[in-house]
A and B are shown apart, each in its own frame.
Chain A
């Protein structure tokens, strides 16, 4: 990524580091991350649990002081100008939540007052947001009675009370059903159409693909790849073919046939009947030839699937290792 002029960057983080010490062990939650996010774009931070996504967002949102490195949001330093950063940033995530005991209206009125709306205008702002987020009928109910999707919408509304120009969404759709997830995606699209800059963390390649202009893949506190969704996918190919055989002894021969057609590496799964192959760019026509070719060899294929590359496959392609799921780091964070 080429450097943009400073004025055009909504977020500019360089060399961010955060280590947590628990007893004698040190966890490098964030270990030198650079993020340059142009204004008006959606930037996706993609990584498994414990990769350091939440820690990075918390540092950018002034909730956590970096051990090293600098970060600016709309030109304001997150350490020295923390209050200025707070007045331009909206935050939604596992760690920035509304009060479950209060009603939706009470939560939004409280936040509106804290942003400086007075009496009646605070109520008006709350009503306007509830209506816009499809919660008009639920305003008088305690938030703990909300469904998962409503809960996420009230969290989003809470972070938009003051129309922030920069919005951090920390795993906004984790745990949501597809319907609620699509609603959140629609909201994000509206925000961006309106000129806001969105930093979105996610575990799902599809989500980053749907929403983000650029994506940084992070693992163990480091950015291991950055680019557009297309560029990232190119690194893993168009997807993967999963083949399951009727006879395990034919796997070697099947791997040769598939490998010859696609020209990519074959992964032999632990399951002795299965193999997986990356599909190269423009490899769709070759995929179509796999089944007849296997048939010609007398290989019976009861199962054949073609899938979009998953985050797992992106990780495998980028790191040569399967994705590790290390929950402990983000719990400490």
Chain B
């Protein structure tokens, strides 16, 4: 396999040896970055990916719109007597659903990174170990915020008038983002365990479907069979929806808010170490 002799050195456009030699001989090696700096670098990457692959925002923005329109106009009249009053009930719930479905992409993206070998590059770097995952999660929070804003804006256009005002709405969304960040650890763990991005997608849907539908997002659970009511009562999504509704209605229920915050801390405290263990030992 000799080189074609007709190709001259210039045509080869081989890296010029001197420039290469200079680039390789680094005078001063910088000291390693702080955990915060490393984490933000990975967050920056997550945001760059949104910039380069804006299609990934399609799901995040379109599905909340479809769900809101469909449930409001298809079932609103039947479920609550009139569309407007159903919207007041539904919107905080559908906001929660929109954001929770967005958390799936965290695991999906992570699994894609693994299958493409990008994660091995990250794991071969001398940085704070959780930085790639925490950084990615922080970047995803931007996606959750976009999903929230889209759903809320649509709701306002359709006639959603939250009594809690701007403060109540913002606090509701912040609480939702905190829980979404904590829940994402479930999907990062799945993303590290499962073999393909599509498997992550499928399994995550299987987890989220019952959690969001068997909750108080769409209807008042009092009409459900007793067994289902029991599930709805222990379903964390129900507690989250109640807390967000309370904040947006201007009637914050302290107990519910505390419950959500405690659940977020527990989820993170249990799942973050598991995720990190999986990340370290992944072969």
Contact = CB atoms under 8 A, between A and B. Distances in A.
A20 B17 CA distance: 42
B25 interface: yes
A137 to B, nearest CB: 10
A65 B281 contact: yes
Interface string B42-79: 00110011001100000000000000000000000000
A117 B26 CA distance: 12
B20 A110 contact: no
B110 to A, nearest CB: 13
B283 A333 contact: yes
Interface in A112-148: 113-118, 121, 128-129, 131-134, 142
A134 B126 contact: no
B3 A191 contact: no
Contacts of B24: 132, 160, 163, 190-191, 194, 196
Interface string A15-30: 0000010000000000
B117 interface: yes
Contacts of A187: 15, 20
Contacts of B19: 131-132
A162 B49 contact: no
A64 interface: yes
B15 A132 contact: yes
A247 interface: no
Which of B14, B15, B127 counts the most A-chain CB atoms under 10 A from its CB?
A: B15
Interface in B262-283: 281, 283
A110 B41 contact: yes
A98 interface: yes
B206 interface: no
A178 interface: yes
B281 A179 contact: no
Chain A interface bracket (under 10, 10 to 19, 20 to 34, 35 or more): 35 or more
B7 interface: yes
Interface in A276-323: none
B133 to A, nearest CB: 14
B13 A134 contact: yes
B21 A179 contact: no
Interface string A151-188: 00100001010110000000000000011001100110
B117 A96 contact: yes
Nearest to A182: B3
A128 B116 CA distance: 26
A106 B31 CA distance: 21
B193 to A, nearest CB: 15
A117 B4 CA distance: 41
Interface in A170-221: 178-179, 182-183, 186-187, 190-191, 193-194, 196, 206
Contact of B23 (A91, A115, A128): A128
A132 B125 contact: no
B158 interface: no
Interface in A74-107: 83-84, 86-87, 89, 91, 93-103, 106
Most buried by B among A113, A183, A333: A113
A64 B123 CA distance: 10
Interface in B112-130: 113, 116-118, 120-121, 123-127
Nearest to B29: A162
Contact of A95 (B15, B44, B117): B117
B12 interface: yes
A307 B134 CA distance: 55
B17 A190 contact: yes
B157 to A, nearest CB: 33
Contacts of A65: 281
A41 interface: no
A63 interface: yes
A70 interface: no
A62 interface: yes
A212 to B, nearest CB: 17
Given A129-B23, A194-B24, A142 B52 contact: yes
Contact of A87 (B12, B48, B126): B126
Given A128-B23, A190-B24, A333-B283, A133 B121 contact: no
Contacts of B31: 116
Given A86-B126, A183-B12, A162 B121 contact: no
Interface in B150-175: none
A103 B17 CA distance: 24
A61 interface: yes
Nearest to B40: A113
B162 to A, nearest CB: 37
> Which 7 residue pairs of A and B lie closest in terms of their CB atoms, listed nearest first?
A97-B117, A116-B30, A132-B23, A163-B26, A87-B126, A86-B126, A132-B19
Interface of B: 1, 3-4, 7, 12-17, 19-26, 29-33, 37-38, 41, 44-45, 48-49, 52-53, 113, 116-118, 120-121, 123-127, 281, 283
Given A63-B124, A186-B14, A206-B1, 4 more contacts: A97-B120, A98-B118, A116-B33, A162-B26
18 contacts: A87-B126, A96-B120, A96-B121, A97-B116, A98-B118, A99-B118, A106-B48, A113-B38, A114-B38, A116-B30, A133-B20, A160-B24, A178-B1, A186-B15, A190-B17, A194-B24, A196-B24, A206-B1
Interface of A: 20, 58, 61-65, 83-84, 86-87, 89, 91, 93-103, 106, 110-111, 113-118, 121, 128-129, 131-134, 142, 153, 158, 160, 162-163, 178-179, 182-183, 186-187, 190-191, 193-194, 196, 206, 333
